[in-house]
Chain A
Amino acid sequence: MAKVTKEQRKNTIISVALKLFSKNGFYMTTIPDIAQKVGMSVGNFYNYFSSKDILAKELVMYISEYLGEQIQEINKKDISSQEKIEEIVSMYFDMADEKPEMIEYFLRVYLSNREVFKEGCKGMICVSSFVTELMIFFDDGVESGDLFDQDFFSAFGLFMGYLGGMVFLFGEKILPEPLSSYQESISKNIYNALKSR
């Protein structure tokens, strides 16, 4: 049997920790919980992450980089901004469906426990990969004439606030239909709000 590398072990910890944090919350999840679920000793866990706070910050960066890479792939495509919006919404909803812990963690841990992240994860530091790709998306959209030139945060809030809100409702089991059935109308609404006028 192939030996598990340190990198693979680290990824397992990330995956397990994301699930536990997003289910039980930051304070209710302990390092022994995570270590037990991974199948390692608490002592060994500290060889990978020296504290729970550091693990929490790495998880945010992991999600941000994952989202950033997905959006970068879409940004690189030779398609209209409207099509890019559709692909971003689809990617985000698929992620909420298939890897709900990633978005749950973002909404329920990162955004809800600011005191954990104030040191070393201030502002854009831990989420820059994701935010940068959205900046590139907006910049390309205005440059190509597809999107209306407006304040970045007004557009960013409209786009991500909307998606985050829908995923939150989905997580709370308030939505009567599956997320995917809202994909088309939400993409249309976002495009209508951002399109060039």
Chain B
Amino acid sequence: MPSNQDKKPTLVWFQGLTCNGNTHSFLNHPNLEQLLSKFEIFHHPSLRSTKSFNDITSCEIPCDIFIFEGTYDPLMKRNGILLEKIVNHYAKNAKHIIAAGSCASFGGMFKASAPERNSGLIFNEESSFGPLLKHKEKVINLSGCPIHPEWLGYTLGMIVAKREIEVDELHRPIELYSNLAHHGCTRNEYFEWKVDASDFGEKEGCLYYKQGCRAPMTHASCNKILWNEVNSKTRVGTPCFGCTEPDFPRQNLFSTKTNMSIPVDVPLGISKRSYLTLTGIAKTFKIDRLEGKLIDYKTTR
């Protein structure tokens, strides 16, 4: 007979206003089966669960880990029950609360329909706001649009191992969000020498100058923990949209905002004056190897 020590932590994954992106993203976790075997899943929108939706919305059973996906809208009902009641019931009893994705973390895309009313669980963008402020110590924000499956895997793994998860001021795990998306980008040499990408999807050039890349000012480990274990947006030639930051979504995601050709936002923690000085000097040098196609580099030295 299993002892209490063998009892698996119980988990409820509940959705507010969402596109299901985080649910789908999580299904791409490379070791999903092994990871899930460590939990009893009371409810998940796409996985076999041990409780019915009626059981879940009746708000009678507690869970150990409460994962919330989507924007919180206080007027929204699920199965005829206000989200407020459901969210508060599970938050009160859970040991850990995880906001899965940018909508649950900061309001994200689905905040736009009612920007004053809708929010994340404990933040509206960067401001402290939301239904679970009184439980905020338990809340871990895993921002991203969608969530990186391995970031959630890491968090759940740490919880199972009873390890402490240190978070930043926006409640994101430091281990995952202290990196910038820029770290590990395969285009870094182009960034150093200020060589623009000529188009989307090219292997060569940096996407920061024209194509709107936010990687140098976005906290995310997308280029350290690769997506589907193989790639990232910037590696494939699409700009980072800064989807892990509270101000996501911004407008004109595919173009860099400039004032008289000067980028409005410069890499995090660097003064604009220093950045412009360095840029002016780096641009002076024309590196032939970086001007041509990578595949031809032996002939463009």
B276 touches A135 (CB 8 A): yes
Interface presence of A123 (CB below 8 A): yes
In the assembled complex, the Cα of A140 lies from the Cα of B284 at a distance in Å of 24
Interface presence of A190 (CB below 8 A): no
Hey, which chain A residues are within 8 Å of B259, CB to CB? Answer: 138-139, 141-143, 149
Hey, which chain B residues are within 8 Å of A128, CB to CB? Answer: 277, 280-281
The tally of residues in B whose CB lies under 8 Å from a CB in A reads 15
Hey, which chain B residues are within 8 Å of A155, CB to CB? Answer: 260
Question: Nearest CB to that of B275 among chain A residues?
Answer: A132
Interface presence of A91 (CB below 8 A): no
Residue among B260, B272, B284 making CB contact with A125, cutoff 8 Å: B284
Interface presence of A122 (CB below 8 A): yes
A17 → chain B closest CB, angstroms? 24
Interface positions, chain A 116-174, Cβ under 8 Å from B, are 122-125, 128-129, 131-133, 135-136, 138-139, 141-143, 147, 149-153, 155
B277 touches A132 (CB 8 A): yes
A142 touches B283 (CB 8 A): no
Hey, which chain B residues are within 8 Å of A147, CB to CB? Answer: 260
Tell which of B260, B264, B277, B281 has the most Cβ of chain A within 10 Å.
Answer: B260
A195 → chain B closest CB, angstroms? 13
B261 touches A124 (CB 8 A): no
Hey, which chain B residues are within 8 Å of A135, CB to CB? Answer: 260, 262, 276, 280
B284 touches A124 (CB 8 A): yes
Hey, which chain A residues are within 8 Å of B298, CB to CB? Answer: none
B274 → chain A closest CB, angstroms? 9
A7 → chain B closest CB, angstroms? 23
Hey, which chain A residues are within 8 Å of B260, CB to CB? Answer: 135, 138-139, 141-142, 147, 149-152, 155
Q: Mark B251-286, 1 if CB is under 8 A from A, else 0.
A: 000000011111010000000110011001101110
Tell which of A122, A124, A135, A149 has the most Cβ of chain B within 10 Å.
Answer: A135
Question: Nearest CB to that of B271 among chain A residues?
Answer: A136
A132 touches B280 (CB 8 A): yes
B262 touches A152 (CB 8 A): yes
B284 touches A123 (CB 8 A): yes
B24 → chain A closest CB, angstroms? 39
A151 touches B261 (CB 8 A): yes
Residue among A124, A141, A142 making CB contact with B280, cutoff 8 Å: A124
Hey, which chain A residues are within 8 Å of B258, CB to CB? Answer: 149
A36 → chain B closest CB, angstroms? 36
In the assembled complex, the Cα of A181 lies from the Cα of B57 at a distance in Å of 80
B276 touches A136 (CB 8 A): yes
In the assembled complex, the Cα of A155 lies from the Cα of B259 at a distance in Å of 11
A119 → chain B closest CB, angstroms? 12
B273 touches A132 (CB 8 A): yes
In the assembled complex, the Cα of A132 lies from the Cα of B273 at a distance in Å of 7
Question: Nearest CB to that of B264 among chain A residues?
Answer: A143
A139 touches B262 (CB 8 A): yes
In the assembled complex, the Cα of A82 lies from the Cα of B292 at a distance in Å of 43
Further contacts, 4 of them, CB under 8 A, given A123-B283, A152-B260 = A123-B284, A129-B277, A138-B259, A139-B260
9 closest residue pairs by CB, A with B: A123-B284, A142-B259, A124-B280, A152-B261, A138-B260, A139-B259, A139-B262, A152-B260, A128-B280
Task: Provide a sorted-by-A list of 8 A–B residue pairs whose CB atoms are within 8 angstroms.
Answer: A122-B285, A123-B284, A124-B281, A128-B280, A132-B280, A147-B260, A151-B260, A152-B260
A-side residues, CB < 8 A to B, are 122-125, 128-129, 131-133, 135-136, 138-139, 141-143, 147, 149-153, 155
